[in-house]
């Protein structure tokens, strides 16, 4: 079998990597979240819960956190509503075009995030493609202002960006369903609609849960889309964290908010894994 030296050589690099780039930074962040900043902008290493108190007391923090979750929830729902039918079509009806269509869904992931976000800016702006078109066909007299620099723009952009992430696990789950179960269902008299609700959907739940988790977690922590397209009303919690670590120079408060988000995401991952396990039957 493998020698001890070989085992050590294989396990050590990832272990070092995880320790240096994940565990230590998280630990530092955790420590920072209990410290504070003095009048003269120096970090004071005295342990207290002031930052966590601020998080609950100051409206803008918890409201932004809630808004971020609401945006992420909407992105999740829309990604599923787009991703599921697409995955279903590809898995069950696309036939020979399957591979080509699969690539078409994946290709946007190769395009820079920034380019895709800017593209929406060009489309949604007050003299953008959409507003120009609407005025040209006389549907509106003035540019619609809510299109850009609004939560709407953020949800739209994030949905566009994260739909492939919802699509992929759902597609994998659908591909995993033995086709003889679908045949058995038809054989027992179930119409295609009944077969979908009673067999295909229940068996694809693990993929839906994984896809929803991807879409929610990724959009919850997003800061570029709200920065570029969100405007004042579309600010998300990551923008606050970024400014606390940057211009505001309040690392301790930033760390406290980050730690709360980390906790939120980890517990979400934990529950989604339990849910996936409960719904998998192989």
Partner 1 sequence: MASAADHESRAPLLSIRNVAKLFGKNAVLRDISLDVAEGEFLTILGESGSGKTTLLRIIAGFESASAGELWMGGERLDHQPPYRRRVNTVFQHYALFPHLTVEQNVAYGLRVAKRPEAEIASRVEEALEKVRMSAHAKSKPSKISGGQQQRVALARALVNRPRLLLLDEPLSALDANLRRQMQVELKSLQREVGISFVFVTHDQEEAMVMSDRIALLRSGDLEQVATPREIYSRPATAYAAQFIGHTNLLKGEVCAGVMHCGLLAWSAPLPDGPALFSLRPENIRLAVANSAIAGSVRVRGKVRHQAFHGATELIRVECSDGLLLVVRIPGSGVSAEDVELEFSPSDAVLVRESSERI
Pick from 178, 270, 271, 274: which binds partner 1 (CB under 8 A)?
178
Going 72 to 163 to 156 to 256, the CA torsion angle's sign is positive
Pick from 181, 248, 266, 269: which binds partner 1 (CB under 8 A)?
181
Binding mask of the shown chain, residues 182 to 221, with x at each position contacting partner 1 by CB under 8 A: -xxxxxxxxx--x---xx--xx------------------
Classify residue 136 as exposed, middle or buried by CB count within 10 Å of its CB (0-12, 13-18, 19+).
exposed
244 in Cβ contact with 173 (< 8 Å): no
**Which residue in the block uniquely carries the two structure tokens 């929610």?**
216
The rounded distance, in Å, linking the Cα atoms of 217 and 71 is: 11
Closer CB to partner 1, 40 or 282, in the complex: 282
The least distance separating partner 1 from the CB of residue 195, rounded to whole angstroms, comes to: 8
207 in Cβ contact with 173 (< 8 Å): yes
The least distance separating partner 1 from the CB of residue 178, rounded to whole angstroms, comes to: 7
The least distance separating partner 1 from the CB of residue 211, rounded to whole angstroms, comes to: 19
Decide if residue 232 touches partner 1 (CB under 8 A): no
**Which residue in the block uniquely carries the two structure tokens 């033995």?**
178
User: Could you list the residues that contact partner 1 (CB under 8 A)?
Assistant: 178, 180-181, 183-191, 194, 198-199, 202-203, 279, 281-282
């Amino acid at each position: 079998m493998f020698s001890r030296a070989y085992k050590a050589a294989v396990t050590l690099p990832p272990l070092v990597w995880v320790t240096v780039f994940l565990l230590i930074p998280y630990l530092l962040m955790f420590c920072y979240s209990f410290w504070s900043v003095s009048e003269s902008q120096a970090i004071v290493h005295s342990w207290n819960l002031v930052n966590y108190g601020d998080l609950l007391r100051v409206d803008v923090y918890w409201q932004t956190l809630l808004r971020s979750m609401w945006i992420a929830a909407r992105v999740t729902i829309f990604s599923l509503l787009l991703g599921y039918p697409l995955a279903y079509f590809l898995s069950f009806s696309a036939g020979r075009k399957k591979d080509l269509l699969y690539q078409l869904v994946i290709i946007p992931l190769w395009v820079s995030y920034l380019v895709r976000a800017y593209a929406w800016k060009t489309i949604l702006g007050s003299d953008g493609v959409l507003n120009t078109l609407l005025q040209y066909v006389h549907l509106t007299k003035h540019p619609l202002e809510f299109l850009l620099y609004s939560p709407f723009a953020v949800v739209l952009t994030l949905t566009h960006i994260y739909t492939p992430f919802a699509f992929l696990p759902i597609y994998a789950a659908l591909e995993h369903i033995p086709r003889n179960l679908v045949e058995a269902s038809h054989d027992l008299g179930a119409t295609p609609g009944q077969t979908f609700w009673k067999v295909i959907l229940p068996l694809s739940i693990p993929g839906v849960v994984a896809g929803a988790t991807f879409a929610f977690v990724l959009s919850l922590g997003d800061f570029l889309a709200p920065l570029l397209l969100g405007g004042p009303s579309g600010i998300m919690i990551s923008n606050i964290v970024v400014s606390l670590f940057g211009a505001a120079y309040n690392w301790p408060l930033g760390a406290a908010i980050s730690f709360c988000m980390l906790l939120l995401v980890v517990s979400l991952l934990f529950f989604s894994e339990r849910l996936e396990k409960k719904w998998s039957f192989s």
